[in-house]
């Protein structure tokens, strides 16, 4: 995960000067790299920067703070710990409008990635029926579709490249 940090003094003077820096959960480490880029600027007294590109990291616009980038990097790591790659994390972040607290809270209620919500609901229903020793002759009358439809009201789903991420409310 990288971001391209551009020197605004150079940019405003019609020159390109910047650097790709690795995204880090440590804001100070990123700030040191940004400061080094600004000090190497061909323009005197370069102080301001903007982010002009993202590589394998959610696009946060031109002017996010390094604190916000570090916080988002922590969330990407949290997602990866749950088997979700950075590109799919962007879809999850969009679902919660990039709000770090909401995303962190969502992962507290993460139910996993499944092929579909119906598959997830079927697993829950089968587990319930088997745990409660419901006779097979009675279980065959269970309405899986109705159960999935009703259960969906208690969950948020996010379509991913390889299935659907499911979060309980």
pLDDT tens for residues 93-141? 889 887 888 998 999 999 999 999 999 999 999 888 888 877 777 878 8
Superfamily of domain 112-168: Antirestriction protein ArdA, domain 3 (1.10.10.1190)
Q: pTM above the 0.75 mark?
A: no
Start and end residues for every CATH 1.10.10.1190 domain found in the chain: 112-168
* Assigned token pair, 28: 């100070």
- Rounded to whole angstroms, how far apart are CA atoms 135 and 15? 75
Q: What is the pLDDT of residue 62?
A: 93
User: Residue 55: CB partners within 8 Å, gap ≥ 6?
Assistant: 1, 2, 3, 4, 20
Cα–Cα nearest to 164, from 98, 99, 111: 111
- Rounded to whole angstroms, how far apart are CA atoms 79 and 158? 13
Cα–Cα nearest to 154, from 136, 168, 133: 168
The H helix count followed by the E strand count for the chain is 8, 6
Spatial strand order in the sheet of 163-168? 110-114, 163-168, 155-160
3-state helix, strand, coil in the chain (%, to 5): 50, 20, 30
Helix, strand or coil for residue 34? Answer: helix
Q: What is the pLDDT of residue 140?
A: 81
């Amino acid at each position: 995960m990288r971001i391209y940090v551009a020197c605004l003094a150079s940019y405003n003077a019609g020159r390109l000067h910047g650097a790709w820096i690795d995204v880090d959960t440590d804001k100070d480490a990123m700030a040191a790299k940004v400061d080094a880029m600004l000090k190497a600027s061909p323009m005197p007294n370069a102080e301001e920067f903007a982010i002009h590109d993202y590589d394998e990291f959610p696009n946060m616009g031109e002017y996010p703070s390094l604190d916000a980038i570090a916080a988002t990097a922590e969330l990407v790591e949290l997602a990866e710990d749950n088997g979700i790659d950075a590109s799919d994390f962007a879809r999850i972040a969009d679902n919660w409008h990039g709000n770090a607290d909401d995303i962190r809270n969502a992962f507290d209620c993460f139910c996993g990635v499944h092929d579909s919500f119906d598959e997830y609901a079927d697993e829950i229903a089968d587990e319930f029926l088997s745990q409660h020793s419901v006779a097979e002759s009675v279980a065959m009358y269970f309405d899986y579709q109705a159960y999935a439809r009703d259960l969906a009201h208690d969950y948020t789903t996010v379509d991913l490249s390889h299935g659907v991420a499911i979060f309980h409310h």
